[in-house]
Amino acid sequence: MLTGARSARLYDPMAEMTQHRAAAPEAFGALFESVFDPAVVIDPVAGRFVAANPAAEALFGYTAADLRALSPADLHPHEIPRLDRFQQPLHV
């Protein structure tokens, strides 16, 4: 047994992003818009895109406004089982 050891805490990037977004929404928005990698936000209940950064717009060939009218299934129907498995822990 380790004495004086701190308990391990699993890194949860979604929780950290949520905390940062709540603390500084302007900074989160600027970071989201400026990253080079495509990034989207999906509403897990509605199954729709909520936001997309410019890199995602370029990748998918749709504007962020156009993507909000679509679901991930509209773009990649073969990936839906994988997305469902990813979102499963979110449905509590």
The model's pLDDT over 3-58, given as tens digits with 9 standing for 90+, comes to 555 545 555 555 666 665 565 566 667 878 888 889 888 887 788 888 899 999 99
Whole-angstrom Cα distance, residue 59 to residue 86? 21
For Cα atoms 82, 64, 37, give the angle at the middle one, nearest 5 degrees.
60
Residue 54 domain-assigned (yes or no): yes
Whole-angstrom Cα distance, residue 87 to residue 62? 24
Determine phi and psi for 51, rounding to 5 degrees.
-150, 155
Residue 2: what pLDDT?
A: 47
Looking at the structure of the chain, the number of domains it has is 1
**Assessment of whether the complete model's pTM goes beyond 0.75:** no
| pLDDT band at residue 77 under the 50/70/90 scheme | confident
Domain hosting 73: range is 39-92
Tell me which residue of 89, 44, 90, 53 sits closest to 71, measured CA to CA: 44
Residue 3 domain-assigned (yes or no): no
Residue 44 domain-assigned (yes or no): yes
